[in-house]
Structure formats: C-alpha cells, structure tokens
Amino acid sequence: MGYDTAAKTDPDSVIDEEWGGMWFLKDALATDELGISVLELESGGKGMEHAEADSGQEEVYYVVAGTVEIELSDADETVTLETDEVIRLDPEETRQIHNRSDERAKLVLVGAPL
C-alpha cells in the first residue's frame, strides 16, 4: 500500500488529560524517517524541556489553534507563536513549550530524521 491513515486518538495520549494531551502518530502511520505528533495544552500547561542533540532530529512546530511560548534556553530567548505560525528548531537547541494563555492550544509537531 502506498499510504497510511491515522486519527489523533489512535494511540493513547502520553500526558495526563488534565494538561491536554499528546499523541505520537509515528507508529500509527508506520513512518521510517519522520515523527509526527499532536500536542494539546490546556491553559497553564507545558511540554517537556528537551533538546534533540543526541538524535540529530530537527523539529518543526505548527500552531493549529491558540498561542504558545517556546522557551529557547540556549538562545536565552522566548518565541511567541499564534495560530498558523510555525517554528523550526535545530537539534541542539533546548526548548520547552508553554501555554500561558487562557485558551487551549493545539500544535502539530514534526521531527526528522528519526
């Protein structure tokens, strides 16, 4: 078959529902070199601080709804992204996503190579 389909809820969320949800779709889509996830953060929620230096994985975050702040520890900077905005991150950049707004935020996270 030349394609695969998946729904956000095919896999279980890896974070508690009270904070939103995060669904890793790599396995559901059987991707070899590309990771794709959906992240939803309630107001006050945050993602895990991390870098991808060991894996060499570049990441792209696309904001589907809401407003988030991406804290970039190495750059000593915070980038605010709103609906339909996107950021690409070098593997070495330490990052953490925060939802400091009053509304739920939804992002699509893409990373490669795996």
Amino acid at residue number 29: L
Q: Supply the CATH number for residue 58's domain.
A: 2.60.120.10
Contact of 63 with 86, CB cutoff 8 Å: yes
Domain that holds residue 84: 37-112
Dump pLDDT digits (tens) for 12-59.
999 988 889 999 999 999 999 999 999 999 999 999 999 999 999 999
Q: For 18, which DSSP code?
A: G
Dump pLDDT digits (tens) for 60-105.
999 999 999 999 998 899 999 999 999 999 999 999 999 999 999 9
User: Is 16 among the domain residues?
Assistant: no
Please tell me the total count of domains within the chain: 1
Amino acid at residue number 5: T
DSSP symbols for 79-96: EEEETT-EEEE-TT--EE
Looking up tokens 């009270």 gives 18
